[in-house]
Amino acid sequence: MKCEQAQHVVGDLKHYAMNDQETGRSVVNSIISKRAMQESDLLAFHIALATATPGAVMCSYNRINGDYGCENLYTLRDVLKKDWAFKGFVISDWGGTHSTEKAFAAGLDQEQPMAQFLGPKLKEAVDAGKFSLADVDEHARRVLYAEFSAGVVDDRLRPALWTLKRGLKSRNGWKRKASSC
């Protein structure tokens, strides 16, 4: 993760949380106590966050105690953002967003691949008074924090690692061997 972010790419940890299987991952519902979560899966993510300091966390497809991973108030807002003081942003997995209001209120900051729920529908929710512009600003601030922290905004584009390892000349004129991170 640190090497990835050293290349001015926002690194993300995934799939947060309780993502224990791939088969049926969009229909599985992990029923687990808060204590058991804290002593198992959440502990591993907490250690990874402290060690790698990623800019983003990708929420999981599965449900956790009835709520989708990208709509789970406890795991996203209460644990990740409040208890652990995570400053980066939460991004959905591809098609892992299932709502506008519930996901946004729980702490989802960015939706992939498009803006089915956090685009025009979010604007409608703001216009209807369900969220304030300050709420939107907080979500946007997290994305910008991660981009500035990783150097995406301030540092110039660098050649791809595969280009460097092969000693190839990039379209920008770079030609050198890569050093390890």
For the stretch 138-156, pLDDT in tens is: 999 999 999 999 988 888 6
Would you name the residues annotated as active-site residues?
93
Q: What local confidence, expressed as pLDDT, does residue 179 receive?
A: 46
Bond preceding residue 150 cis, omega within 30 of 0: no
> Do the Cβ atoms of 57 and 16 come closer than 8 Å?
yes
CB 70 within 8 A of CB 34: no
Q: Which residues of the chain have pLDDT under 70?
A: 156-181
Q: For tokens 């956790």, name the residue.
A: 64
pTM: 0.85
State the pLDDT at residue 167. 56
Give the type of residue at 70.
C
3 state SS of 57: strand
